Every structure is written in structure tokens, then in C-alpha cells.
Structure 1
């Protein structure tokens, strides 16, 4: 059995693309999650080279060094928490990362800042802002419901953080998005 860590594998569509490429190469996948693939067998050097040659043009990369793997795992946990989990759990991000990655949060935080040039908290906020944008565009939830879903203490706090990152209020962002969009019958 062999575990590979794959950079930029951040969504379910990414998983499908990587799975498809592994199938084409005849690699037997035992398990696949965001950023991580467990294979039935160890890769030969030829298979590793072939895998890299198909993944790199698609924007993916097999990560070999431990620090890069850990950085990618931090990103994938944050992406999973923000984009794919119902945030009913009121755990701190530091606790979630420490539990899932089995490292002290201070170590994770220092490593992430050193390598990425941004704090884990700023990366987490950037992911949350992207999720807010997505939910505003879908126009299915009120700002209050979005704030609750993303564990903001209030709509005001969400709005302030959104404006700090984007320069726009959520309502102005939504208005601009709506102005740019045309109904299908007007295209």
C-alpha cells in the first residue's frame, strides 16, 4: 500500500479528474480524499513519472517532502471545513487542525506562515469570504443564514470581514454581480 499527497486537489471534481487519470494508468486506488490518495501497491519509478506527466498539465502535483505535504493537508482541512461541512460544530480551527493532523497548532501555524507567507487565520478567512461570495451569488440564503452557516457571531461581523477582504459590502457585491448578469432570454 502507498499513500500519495497531491497538491491542488481541493474539490470533488479534482478527485474525479485524478481518479480518472489513475484509472487510465492502471493504478488501483484503495481510497481517495482531498489531497490524498491511497493506492493498493507501491508505485514504481516509471509509474511515478507517468503519473506526474499526466497530473502536472492538469494543475496537480505529487508532493514528496514532509513540510509541503503538511501545508497541503492544512489547506485541505480548511477547505473541507469551510466548503463541505455543515458548520454546526463550534470547534476552534486550531483544535480541528491539531486533532486531524496530529501536530501542535503552534507548529502548524508557524510552518504555514513561513512557507505560505500568510497566516492560517488569513487563509481561513479568505476561504470563508469565497464561500460567502458563492452563497451570495446563489441567492438562496439570507445574509443572516449565511452568517449562521459559516459560524459568524453576527451579520455585522461577517459584513465587516467581507468588506475588509473585498473592499465591498456583501449587499454591494451582490448588486454588482446582479448588474453584470443578464437573464438567459436577453443574452
Structure 2
């Protein structure tokens, strides 16, 4: 039996889920992309307790097929952009479709219907969040960031960044540096 839990793909969340399952003596094997594989059936009491305890931690058990699919799509995108060493060389649509085993048109229509934005818009938002993160680390210049995130050019990255944040990447970086400097003065 598979259990679907809405959580961000992070070590902290995986640990929380793992701890809750162990506390309830629920045997499980895989915790990946919001999916936990249960090795045994669980009782209604265990289900309710798990649901309640996870909710206290900001995590949610999902039982609606569309919600589960949306979380899977979001987790694939987040993992691909934020945690992969490099972005896939194939189209994101092809990558997501292969990863989840569904036709991309179906995934895209379901995502748009439920979330009110396209998968492509969700990808762009996450790519810009990754750009912000990389700008703050100050280890890569804008050209390297554009290359790392598969932008066709620095101009394209800058244009998307400004469209999403209202700021140019360089102004954003300056703003963050000023805030950091101001905090250090206290």
C-alpha cells in the first residue's frame, strides 16, 4: 500500500515523516517524492493518528487522486530544480512525463485546473527562486547561473527574473547585501 503525504522534498520533512511512522510502529520502506510505501496494512486508528500528527508538523496525508498527482508534479519540479546536480537535457515536459508515467497534456491540464497556473509557470517560479539562492551564495556569476539553469542567455534569465520579482538580478543582489550589512551593524 502506498501512502501519499504532502510535503516539501527536504531531509527535514523526510525525517519528520519517518519519525511519525516509527512512533506508530508502521512498517515502511520508501520515502520519496511525497510517497511512502507501507509494508503492512494500517488500522483506521493509526491512519487518523498519523494524519493528526503530520498535520501538527504542517504535513498533510492526501487521499484525493488529483491532489496526489499535483503534489507529485510539484515534487518532481522542485527536486529537478533545487536538488539535482544539473537540470535534465531533455524538455521539462518530457522529463516530468517520463518521471511520472503520464501523458504531459494530461498532467498539464490537471495541474492548471487545480493550481490555476501552468506547470511551465511553476517551473519558472522555482527557477527564479533558485537564481535568488545562487545570487545570495555569491559563488557563481550571472552567466554561470544562466548556464546552470539552462537559460538560453543572461538576458533571458534577467528578463524572467524581473518579470517575477520586479527587480533586476544585480539590483536584487545589491538589496540583499545592503540588508545583510545593515544587520551586521547591530
Say if 2:81 and 2:87, in contact at 8 Å, map to a contact too.
Answer: no
Match of 2:142 in 1: 143
Tell me if structure 1 keeps the 8 A contact 2:27–2:40.
Answer: yes
Structure 1 residue 8 displacement after superposition: 2.5
- Which one is further off, 171-180 or 85-94? 85-94
Per-residue deviation, 1:59: 1.1
Cα drift, residue 185 of structure 1: 6.0
Task: Give the secondary structure class of the aligned counterpart of 2:42.
Answer: coil
1:1-150 aligned within 5 A: 2-87=1-86, 89-150=88-149
Q: TM-score, normalised by structure 2?
A: 0.94
Tell me the distance in 2 between the aligned counterparts of 1:177 and 1:44.
50
> 2: distance between equivalents of 1:14 and 1:56?
12
Aligned residue number for residue 179 of structure 1: 178
Q: 1:103 to 1:186 in 2, by over 3 A?
A: same
SS of equivalent residue, structure 1 residue 38: strand
Residues matched between the structures, number = 186
Contact kept, 8 Å, 1:86 with 1:149, in 2: the verdict is no
After TM superposition, the runs of 4+ consecutive aligned structure 1 residues lying more than 6 A away are none
CA distance in 2, matches of 1:139, 1:27: 44
Structure 2: any 5+ residue segments left out of the alignment?
Answer: none
C-alpha deviation, 1:96, in angstroms? 0.8
Q: CA deviation at 1:86?
A: 2.0
